[in-house]
């Protein structure tokens, strides 16, 4: 009887070698699956980021419909920006109202952004309904830097409303307590020519304490694919979501919008209606 029990235990138990073999197979399978799972996660983040921008772009179009075609204002002298509660906040919900009256979190933050980001998107300065005097003057400088536009602009499917930007600055920018990071309110002014605003700063970018100097104000690192994955965070290589004046959102690679060799715009995405004449 005892001999039978011993044989039964030997027949139903695992030896150490067998157990190690099973563990090894599981480890190999996990190693094979991890890249696919990471890629699926990145793709899901990119889709959610585009959905966020679509909500914000729709909110801006709704705002412009209500205000005679004018998109939200961005005027530093009045401390009025598109993401203020009294601006686009009337057309989109946010889980956070910061101490300076600005909105953050939720649809304002890309899930592919770094930890602590509360705002990941900046509005194209040339789409603003109201701007500071310096931007007004830049329309008539020689050469001009851009031209303001409103709802119904020609080539609306190419006119940028929103772009992914670096969440480099303390949030809120004014007031306490600091609870995270945000990007500048606007994008598309720094750099003398449209193509350079995508791939080369052209002019110093003030601030940017979290990342230091970057090749562009457009944030290209969040949705990179294999050809660009090992570039530095600050390099203008990768993909970014853009929201356009016709309401659609599109993921574009850096080479889709400008030629890296010449820094000339392809005009697939445009900062202002006069990009073709000044690039």
Closest residue by Cα to residue 83 from 110, 69, 63: 63
Tokens of 104: 């953050």
What is the percentage of the chain residues whose pLDDT exceeds 90? 65
* Residue 272 pLDDT grade (very low, low, confident, very high; cuts 50, 70, 90): very high
Residues in the chain: 279
Residue 42 predicted with pLDDT over 80 = no
Q: Which helix (H) or strand (E) holds 181?
A: strand 180-182
* Residue 23 pLDDT grade (very low, low, confident, very high; cuts 50, 70, 90): confident
- Between 274 and 34, whose confidence is greater? 274
CA–CA dist 146, 227 (Å, integer): 33
Average pLDDT in the chain: 88
What pTM was estimated for this model as a whole? 0.86
State pLDDT tens for residues 204-239.
Answer: 555 567 888 889 999 999 999 988 989 999 999 999
Helix (H/G/I), strand (E/B), else coil: 36: helix
State pLDDT tens for residues 167-177.
Answer: 999 999 888 89
| pLDDT value of position 163 | 98
Residue 75 predicted with pLDDT over 60 = yes
| pLDDT value of position 73 | 96
| pLDDT value of position 3 | 54
Average pLDDT over residues 135-159: 96
Residue 105 predicted with pLDDT over 80 = yes
State pLDDT tens for residues 175-210.
Answer: 889 999 999 899 999 888 999 999 987 665 555 678
* Residue 84 pLDDT grade (very low, low, confident, very high; cuts 50, 70, 90): very high
What is the percentage of the chain residues whose pLDDT exceeds 70? 88
Could you tell me which residues are beta bridge partners of residue 241? 251
Question: How far is residue 189 from each of residues 28, 63, 136, 249, measured CA to CA in Å?
Answer: 50, 23, 12, 21
Question: How far is residue 184 from each of residues 162, 163, 252, measured CA to CA in Å?
Answer: 12, 11, 21
Contact 138, 145 (CB under 8 A): yes
Average pLDDT over residues 249-274: 97
Residue 141 predicted with pLDDT over 80 = yes
* Residue 43 pLDDT grade (very low, low, confident, very high; cuts 50, 70, 90): confident
Could you tell me which residues are beta bridge partners of residue 187? 124
| pLDDT value of position 175 | 83
* Residue 109 pLDDT grade (very low, low, confident, very high; cuts 50, 70, 90): very high
| pLDDT value of position 68 | 94
Sign of CA dihedral 153, 157, 161, 166: negative
Tokens of 218: 């457009």
| pLDDT value of position 208 | 66
């Amino acid at each position: 009887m005892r001999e039978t029990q011993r044989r039964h235990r030997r027949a139903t138990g695992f030896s150490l070698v067998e157990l190690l073999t099973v563990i090894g197979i599981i480890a190999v399978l996990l190693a094979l699956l991890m890249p696919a799972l990471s890629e699926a996660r990145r793709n899901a983040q990119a889709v959610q980021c585009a959905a966020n921008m679509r909500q914000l772009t729709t909110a801006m179009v709704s705002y412009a419909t209500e205000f005679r075609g004018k998109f939200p204002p961005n005027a530093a002298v009045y401390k009025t920006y598109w993401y203020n509660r009294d601006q686009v906040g009337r057309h989109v919900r946010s889980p956070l109202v910061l101490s300076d009256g600005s909105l953050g979190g939720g649809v304002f933050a890309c899930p592919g952004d770094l930890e602590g980001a509360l705002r990941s998107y900046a509005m194209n300065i040339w789409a603003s309904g109201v701007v500071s005097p310096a931007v007004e003057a830049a329309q008539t400088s020689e050469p001009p830097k851009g031209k303001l536009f409103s709802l119904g602009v020609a080539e609306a499917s190419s006119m940028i409303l929103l772009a992914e930007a670096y969440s480099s600055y303390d949030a809120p920018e004014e007031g306490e307590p600091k609870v995270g990071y945000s990007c500048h309110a606007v994008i598309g002014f720094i750099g003398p020519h449209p193509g350079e605003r995508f791939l080369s700063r052209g002019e110093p970018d003030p601030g940017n304490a979290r990342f230091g100097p970057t090749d562009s104000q457009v944030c290209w690192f969040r949705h990179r694919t294999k050809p660009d994955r090992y570039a530095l965070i600050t390099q203008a290589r990768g993909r970014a979501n853009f929201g356009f004046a016709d309401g659609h959102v599109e993921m574009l690679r850096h080479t889709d919008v400008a030629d890296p060799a010449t820094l000339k715009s392809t005009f697939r995405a445009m900062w202002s209606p006069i990009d073709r004449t000044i690039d």
